[in-house]
A and B are shown apart, each in its own frame.
Chain A
Amino acid sequence: MEKKIRVLIAKPGLNGHDRGAKIVARGLAEEGMEVIYAGLWNTPEQIVETAIQEDVDVIGLSILSGAHDVLVPEVLKILKEKGVDNVIVIVGGTIPLEDVKLLKDYGVKEVFLPGTTIPEIAKFIRQIVHKTE
């Protein structure tokens, strides 16, 4: 049997709007992925640590507070420092188009904006993960 894709969904920072994060966590689980939901108030360090411990293929970060331009690059930086190069990072939230490019330049694989469906996210993850394997 094919190995299940493992996804860590986390909310970095102090923002408590967890509706989107939980919806994506549940949706991806329904799509057959192994989902770890890290809950609220994660520091970038904690997120990377959990990702390593749980041996995930994907980190999904949900931010709605405008702090994405600080917290997302930090997660990517720490991943690099720890030598983790087989984990892809995706982001979701209220993010202006101008910042989508910025985040991708930092190394984010995709930014999912409001209105994205679960099958779209799942399809993207499968394509990327199966390609890297």
Chain B
Amino acid sequence: MSLEDCNSWQKLLKQARVYRVIVLWKALSTYNKHLIIMNSVGDTVLKQIELERRERERAKKGLERKNRFETLSGIEIKCFYKPEDIKNLNYEKDLGDPGHYPFTRGIYETMYRGRLWTIRMFSGFGSPRETNSRWKDLIAHGETGLSCAFDYPTLLGYDSDDPLARGEVGRCGVSVSCIKDMEELWNGIPIGRITVNYTINTPAIYILACHFALAEAQGYPLAEVSGTTQNDMLKEFIGQKSYRFPPEPHVNIVIDIIKFCVKNTPKWHPISVSGYHIREAGATPVQELAWTIANGITYIEKCLEAGLNVDDVAPIFSFFFACGDNFFEEIAKFRAARRIWAKIMRERFNAKKSSSLILRFHTQTAGHTLTYQYPELNIVRVAIQALAAVLGGTQSLHTNSFDEAICVPTEKAARIATLTQRVIAHETGVADVIDPLGGSYYVEWLTNEIENRAWSEIEKIERMGGVIECIKSGYFLVEIAKSANEYRRKIEGGEIEKVGVNILQPAELKYDFKPLKIPLELEYERRKLLSEFRKSRDLQKVNYVLDKLRRAAEKNDFLFPVVLEAVKSKATIGEVMHVFEEVYGRYREPTIF
């Protein structure tokens, strides 16, 4: 290169630097003066680019069935995935071997090769005696863990003879009002040897106290008793709606129960942070995941505020998700859930134990996917959903009965549902290799996508002041109403197809089984039994303990030991909950639809 050349190069470089400065200055001043115009112009340009891209894709596709393919969370999906879609995926950092951080592939090293998932059928109806015999039948047909469904009076903490309970006693779950009912429920089943999940929230403290009192009376040390109480009140305000008091006192009782279990029952999972009901109420899979994790964070924070240690609490936390129709989206959701929780526990809460980092979860196939039309087809839906849950690495599983859009499960339907899990477990080979879909371009891409969307939703909730604030402001109700309505529109518009509902409808609605009906006489019989139970007690003793409970609630004292005393003194569920309602007041949600 000559000297002249060199000089002209320097000149050019200098000019370029000056030009850069001018461009930068121009950009900044424009930015300052015309921020809004810039933004809207930018948006328009981006929108135009996006539209053109879609147009091109559509033209290219031409022969595809739809203009847009998307998951139930509204995530647009391409026609296939390849290495470049997951080019930043780092095996050690993002996946890890099963049983290793961040647990994307599964929480245990051996998973189902070591032990199959627990077949846990959510079951309960009528009187404790009837449910007891259904439980025994399910155990005889391959069930390996129990899960108790309570009726609505019990779920809300009303006695079966309460005027508000009329028409509802034993109808969609078992009716339990006192310790004697719990004794009947467990008659002939070894309470200390089989694990049970109680789907109970508002009166969880009462039911759990009954369980512990009963186990102790039967000679099982509390340290050995194993099972789960759902005890997740935050999701009640979002989904299931069986709350009675404002969120804060409800959450305080949740933490009270956790506190008792940390100290006395290390094998009991005092809480199952549940997305299932959020999903059933209308949320998308991404909302289900994000809100459940946000609720989990809230509970951990409250435990720490109560002076508990993260590594004492986190290992006894458990979770509960739904498994709906979109096969791969559900699998990706479960994988993303494990990775998010592991990161939160390690990075945010500095948990040290490996058992504090793992998200262990129960799955139930999604009830809202069942159809009234061609009910037998639900057997197929449930089997596919159950397969997704297994491929997603669930720890326990409930499979819905095919008749559940019509009535409480009949015995035959419940047996088929239970045995469906056995077919998956023993005949298909899917339990022999852990996370067999790990490494799939699509599943890994979708796992990342769901994780990212869940993180932004969690951050959004925290920016709005956290879960309890969002409950009170009605945020969740607004969002759920939107999602549920969107789902309804898509079914009515045919974008989401359901066999028998909006395609291939039957000429007439019919089925060839006899729906299970809980006779009204049961309600009268239950009232009679409860009145006999009331007569059998030392009323002075009951009133003494209830007074003690009231004072403890007013002073924010440790409640569990007092409730345990109340249970043993034969106070009923309604009496205990009534004391709480007097102290805490009643909550009603804002009217949003």
**A residues whose Cβ falls under 8 Å from a Cβ of B:** 13-19, 21-23, 25-27, 35, 37, 39-41, 43, 64-67, 69-71, 74, 94, 96-98, 113-115, 117-119
Residue in contact with B168 in the complex, picked from A15, A74, A96, A115, CB distance below 8 Å = A15
Residues of B within 8 A of A117 (CB): 491-492
* Nearest CB in chain A: distance from B541 CB, A: 30
* Nearest CB in chain A: distance from B480 CB, A: 8
Residue in contact with B158 in the complex, picked from A14, A25, A70, CB distance below 8 Å = A14
A97 touches B511 (CB 8 A): yes
Closest to B242 in A: A16
Expressed in whole angstroms, the Cα–Cα distance for A69 and B520 within the complex equals 9
Expressed in whole angstroms, the Cα–Cα distance for A119 and B589 within the complex equals 28
Expressed in whole angstroms, the Cα–Cα distance for A14 and B244 within the complex equals 11
Residues of B within 8 A of A96 (CB): 406-407, 515, 517
A66 touches B484 (CB 8 A): no
Expressed in whole angstroms, the Cα–Cα distance for A13 and B241 within the complex equals 13
Residue in contact with B164 in the complex, picked from A18, A35, A43, A94, CB distance below 8 Å = A43
Residues of B within 8 A of A14 (CB): 152-153, 155-156, 158, 164-165, 168, 242
Residues of B within 8 A of A23 (CB): 282, 484-485, 488, 593
Chain A interface SS verdict (over half): loop
* Nearest CB in chain A: distance from B378 CB, A: 11
A65 touches B589 (CB 8 A): no
* Nearest CB in chain A: distance from B461 CB, A: 21
Question: How extensive is the interface on chain B, given as a class?
Answer: 35 or more
Q: A14-B152, A67-B168 are in contact. Are A114 and B372 (CB under 8 A)?
A: yes
Q: A22-B481, A39-B588, A97-B511 are in contact. Are A66 and B164 (CB under 8 A)?
A: no
- In the complex, B371 has a CB within 8 A of chain A: yes
Expressed in whole angstroms, the Cα–Cα distance for A49 and B452 within the complex equals 49
- In the complex, B167 has a CB within 8 A of chain A: yes
* Nearest CB in chain A: distance from B545 CB, A: 26
* Nearest CB in chain B: distance from A12 CB, A: 8
Expressed in whole angstroms, the Cα–Cα distance for A22 and B592 within the complex equals 8
* Nearest CB in chain B: distance from A37 CB, A: 5
A40 touches B517 (CB 8 A): no
- In the complex, B258 has a CB within 8 A of chain A: no
* Nearest CB in chain B: distance from A84 CB, A: 21
Chain B interface SS verdict (over half): loop
Can you give 22 A-B contacts (C-beta < 8 A)?
Answer: A13-B167, A14-B152, A14-B164, A14-B242, A15-B172, A19-B282, A19-B484, A22-B484, A23-B282, A23-B488, A27-B488, A37-B591, A37-B593, A65-B152, A66-B408, A66-B517, A67-B152, A67-B167, A67-B171, A71-B167, A96-B406, A115-B371
Number of A-B contacts (CB under 8 A): 110
A70 touches B152 (CB 8 A): no
- In the complex, B213 has a CB within 8 A of chain A: no
B509 touches A97 (CB 8 A): yes
Expressed in whole angstroms, the Cα–Cα distance for A22 and B480 within the complex equals 10
Residue in contact with A97 in the complex, picked from B151, B153, B510, CB distance below 8 Å = B510
Expressed in whole angstroms, the Cα–Cα distance for A50 and B410 within the complex equals 37
B335-369 to A contact mask, C-beta < 8 Å, 1/0? 00000000000000000000000000000000010
Closest to B164 in A: A14
Closest to B520 in A: A70
* Nearest CB in chain A: distance from B12 CB, A: 65
Residues of A within 8 A of B165 (CB): 14
- In the complex, B383 has a CB within 8 A of chain A: no
- In the complex, B405 has a CB within 8 A of chain A: yes
- In the complex, B280 has a CB within 8 A of chain A: yes
Q: A65-B168, A66-B172 are in contact. Are A18 and B152 (CB under 8 A)?
A: no
* Nearest CB in chain B: distance from A122 CB, A: 12
Residues of B within 8 A of A25 (CB): 593
Residues of A within 8 A of B511 (CB): 97
A18 touches B372 (CB 8 A): no
Expressed in whole angstroms, the Cα–Cα distance for A15 and B240 within the complex equals 9
B494-524 to A contact mask, C-beta < 8 Å, 1/0? 0000101100000001110001011010000
B492 touches A118 (CB 8 A): yes
* Nearest CB in chain A: distance from B501 CB, A: 5
Q: A65-B152, A65-B168, A94-B406 are in contact. Are A18 and B492 (CB under 8 A)?
A: no
Task: Indicate the member of B153, B281, B510 with the most A CB atoms within 10 Å.
Answer: B281
Expressed in whole angstroms, the Cα–Cα distance for A119 and B492 within the complex equals 9
A113 touches B492 (CB 8 A): no
Expressed in whole angstroms, the Cα–Cα distance for A16 and B281 within the complex equals 10
Expressed in whole angstroms, the Cα–Cα distance for A64 and B280 within the complex equals 13
- In the complex, B373 has a CB within 8 A of chain A: yes
Residues of A within 8 A of B591 (CB): 37, 39
Residues of A within 8 A of B406 (CB): 94, 96-97
- In the complex, B166 has a CB within 8 A of chain A: yes
Expressed in whole angstroms, the Cα–Cα distance for A97 and B406 within the complex equals 8
Residues of B within 8 A of A16 (CB): 152, 155, 240-242
Taking A25-B593, A96-B515, A97-B406 as known contacts, 18 extra A-B pairs with beta carbons closer than 8 A to each other, sorted by chain A number, are A14-B153, A14-B165, A14-B168, A19-B281, A22-B593, A23-B488, A23-B593, A26-B481, A26-B593, A66-B517, A67-B152, A70-B520, A71-B167, A74-B167, A97-B509, A114-B372, A115-B373, A118-B488
B515 touches A19 (CB 8 A): no
Closest to A70 in B: B167
Residues of A within 8 A of B242 (CB): 14, 16
* Nearest CB in chain A: distance from B547 CB, A: 27
Task: Indicate the member of A41, A64, A119 with the most B CB atoms within 10 Å.
Answer: A41
Closest to A15 in B: B152
Residues of A within 8 A of B491 (CB): 117
Expressed in whole angstroms, the Cα–Cα distance for A35 and B156 within the complex equals 28
Closest to A114 in B: B372
* Nearest CB in chain A: distance from B170 CB, A: 9
